[in-house]
Chains A and B, each alone.
Chain A
Amino acid sequence: MVAGLTKGERQFAIVISVVLALCGLFLAGAGHQRPLGVHGLLIAFLGIATVFVVLSGYIAPEPSEERLSSYYDDPSKAGIIIAMIWAIFAMFIGDWVAWLLAYPEMTFDAAWASFGRLRPVHTTGVIFGFGGNALIATSFHVMQRTCRARMPDQLSPWFVLLGYNLFCILAVSGYFIGVTQSKEYAEPEWYADIWLVIVWVTYFVLYLRTLARRQEPHIYVANWYYLAFILVVAVLHIVNNLAVPVSLGHAKSYSAFSGVQDAMTQWWYGHNAVAFFLTAGFLGMLYYYLPKRAERPIFSYRLSIISFWGITFLYMWAGSHHLHYTALPHWVQTLGMTFSVMLLVPSWASAGNALLTLNGAWHRVRDDATLRFMMVAAVFYGISTFEGSFLAIRPVNSLSHYTDWTVGHVHAGALGWVAFITFGSIYAVVPILWKRERMYSARLVEVHFWLALAGTLIYVFAMWNSGIIQGLMWRTYTESGTLAYSFIDSLVAMHPYYVARAIGGLLFLIGAAIGFYNIWMTVRTAREEPLEPVADRPIASDTPAGAVQPGE
């Protein structure tokens, strides 16, 4: 890791780590004996540890100039391993939460293990820990390949990856000790938020710098999606997290928004987090790894264009469908609903573009579980977006809102789409990154595929059933015009579905664990002579983008 950095970069890395450690020490002092103090110490510790890591490799010889004619993949490798660690951790917590909902005594009377703390650990762990790291790792890989250019330096990708994980660690450890600003998917407090802004802007700039160095005249679709993901998430994150801390010594802060404005800002954020984190980024993955693996051209270039702009434009308006029948003015709800209905078209256009790309390669889909992961992902993308547009219709939402149907929709997207495309892409990219011929075991990929599919189907069907039953029970009236069921009745009715969901989740988790083992063994099993990355075009030369000939 350190050996890949130039001398100057090593020095700069030490400076950054020292500054970080000092900030940590400041927070530790200011927040002494409060949760913020704990985080301060954690930051200081990690900063100092990084200084030592860099120092221990400091005297290593500088990387040779030859490096410039190859892609820089070390951060991608690290990112993929880290993503898998987060996957196992956060899905374990997810399954714990699932069992907890069926057997509420599973908190063992510990505050840190209560539902309200474990749940955000799960959501942050899977979305940001697993999903985010996978996005960062693959985006580095994809942008270099499709630009045919090496990243401009070695330090910024490491800063982005490790800095991002510091954010994730602060977030998750914070929930356990009770730090949260209680905005869903934006729970971390102000200091973690500020840090993420720094990291994210670096990420954005790194992406732009790489694009500027590209040797290809055109920018490939995958890059549009990754860029949209990075840019929009930055905007969302900054706006939704505008807040005033109680003091520099307190973790707690108060949002700049209040009442219905706060709700609308939060769900404008929340929905576009779905759109640009859980959708756009992963479409970037899909658009690179699927055609690559299928060895087929993209079905239609024009379809890519209209679905990209359709998604980017329409998603922005749809957030208010999370607030149907609330204090939010009726007209805002109407807009949210209608834009969600229109959104279905570009969403299905993307899913269709992916699936139709497989025409001519279906025999591969049959034989290759990696490609099948991506195929199923596209199918679930289609299912969950159809479901989403349906749920956004007000009368439908009056049944589904507050029920497990939402949770079913979430996991049709999260498991079926996000996790499937990620696993597919990871299986595709691991052999390339580590220069192996193939994964350690194709059979284990196959086993993972079926476990994941079974787990997803059990999960989603259980939640559809329980959600609809719940919704109906809550609106069933007796002849005398009063509610027929108490809330406890509906909980009792949910119990079998909660158990089923937890079993489905367990299958999914076991699949992920097998996947991790397979990846680990692929990395460990050294080849005699490492493969040249046959799949990659060589980097042309290290000339800047301006040198691209006109007319290309």
Chain B
Amino acid sequence: MAVAQRDPHTGYTTTGHEWNGITELNRPVPKVIWLFLAATIIFSVIYWVLMPAWPLVETYTKGVLGVDQRSSLAENLRIAAADRASWTQQIETRNFAEIQADDSLMQIVRNTGRPLFEDNCATCHGMKGQGGHGFPRLTDDAWLWGADPATVAETIRVGINSTHNETRVSQMQAFGRDGILDRAAILDVVTYVRSLAGAEPTGDERSDSIAAAAEVFAANCAACHGESGTGNTELGAPDLTDESWIYGGDRQSVYTTVYRGRQGHMPHWEGRLSALERKLLTLFVLDLGATKQ
């Protein structure tokens, strides 16, 4: 019963088929579609001629422009490096003090160092290098390994307790867990350590325990932290007399530190960041502290 009907609205006839009430108009494909199709096909063919496009058995059509994504990437990188050479060479060749004295170079360090720091270091050290629990603040004067640029650069290169062959090693043993000191002695030495930093005894902390604890400290802790607790940058042992704490200066935190020991982990960046980038970061980190003051 293929009877074509005329659609009164458009004037076209239907194809004569009908499915549960649905019909279709027998209308030619609009011209614009063919035009459009031709245009996209022509575009594609031209593009195939210009660019690498069709596979042959062993190779592929290379395109008359000779574009290749590997070589164009290499070329772009080369151009970018050449553009930067004006200042990168200076950073690479001049020493820290010279660079720090050069204002225009330091401006570049600040601009390029910030994204580098935020992309690589901020997860642990905070967006502004302010540190956080377990991660040292990099903007103060309290340095585990020393404030000298070469030292900071070395720390960044090899990391701390990292997987690098030359890693810096910093270990504080677990005095409580390993049974080196009993609970009472730890409590006393905690009070003592806190008093070094000028904290007033709180709660049931006895100020008379400080005297007794001085001996415990001298016997167990001074080897690393020094007689007066001012730390040792050879060992990465922190100064305990300042206000700056990595793991917290309240009684519970210090107790946990002494009871469990601490081995902070800082990844090494050699192999991940170039020498230039590490130098930029060293300068940037030191500058963070300097501009802070």
A contact set with B: CB distance below 8 Å: 145-146, 148, 216-218, 220-221, 288, 291-292, 295-304, 306, 310, 325, 329-331, 333-335, 337-339, 341-342, 344-345, 348-349, 352, 359-360, 478-489, 535-537, 551-552
Contacts and interface: CB of A to CB of B under 8 A. Distances in A.
Interface string B241-272: 00000000000000000000000000000000
B230 to A, nearest CB: 36
Interface stretch (B25-33, B178-186, B208-216, B221-229): B25-33
A216 B19 contact: yes
A396 B52 CA distance: 18
Contacts of A537: 20-21
Interface in B1-36: 1-2, 7, 9-10, 14-15, 17, 19-30, 33, 36
B111 A488 contact: no
Contact of A218 (B17, B47, B48): B17
Contact of B24 (A301, A338, A483, A484): A301
A341 B24 contact: no
A146 B108 contact: no
What 9 A-B pairs have minimum CB-CB distances, sorted nearest first? A486-B118, A360-B9, A338-B44, A301-B24, A486-B115, A298-B24, A331-B52, A482-B112, A297-B23
Contacts of A302: 26-29
A292 B24 CA distance: 11
A523 B264 CA distance: 64
Contact of A334 (B47, B83, B127): B47
Given A345-B37, A486-B115, 5 more contacts: A337-B47, A341-B40, A480-B112, A482-B116, A486-B118
Nearest to A551: B2
5 contacts: A301-B15, A304-B24, A325-B69, A360-B10, A483-B115
Interface in B90-129: 108, 111-112, 114-119, 122, 127
A188 to B, nearest CB: 32
- Say what secondary structure dominates the interface of chain B: mixed
B126 to A, nearest CB: 11
A297 B22 contact: yes
A492 to B, nearest CB: 9
A345 B21 contact: no
B218 interface: no
A488 B118 contact: yes
A142 to B, nearest CB: 9
A300 B27 contact: yes
B22 A345 contact: no
B84 A220 contact: no
A217 B54 contact: no
Nearest to A337: B47
Interface string B128-155: 0000000000000000000000000000
Contacts of A220: 17, 19, 22
Given A146-B22, A291-B22, A330-B52, A359 B29 contact: no
A536 B14 CA distance: 20
Contacts of B84: 480-482
Which among A292, A300, A478 has the highest number of chain B CB atoms within 10 Å?
A300
Contacts of A148: 19-20
B275 interface: no
Interface stretch (B60-68, B158-166, B167-175, B197-205): B60-68
Given A301-B26, A334-B51, A341-B44, A482 B115 contact: yes
B284 to A, nearest CB: 12
B17 A486 contact: no
Contact of B43 (A291, A298, A341): A341
A316 to B, nearest CB: 15
A298 B26 CA distance: 9
B80 interface: yes
Contact of B27 (A301, A310, A339, A485): A301
Interface centre among B2, B87, B112 (most CB of A within 10 A): B112
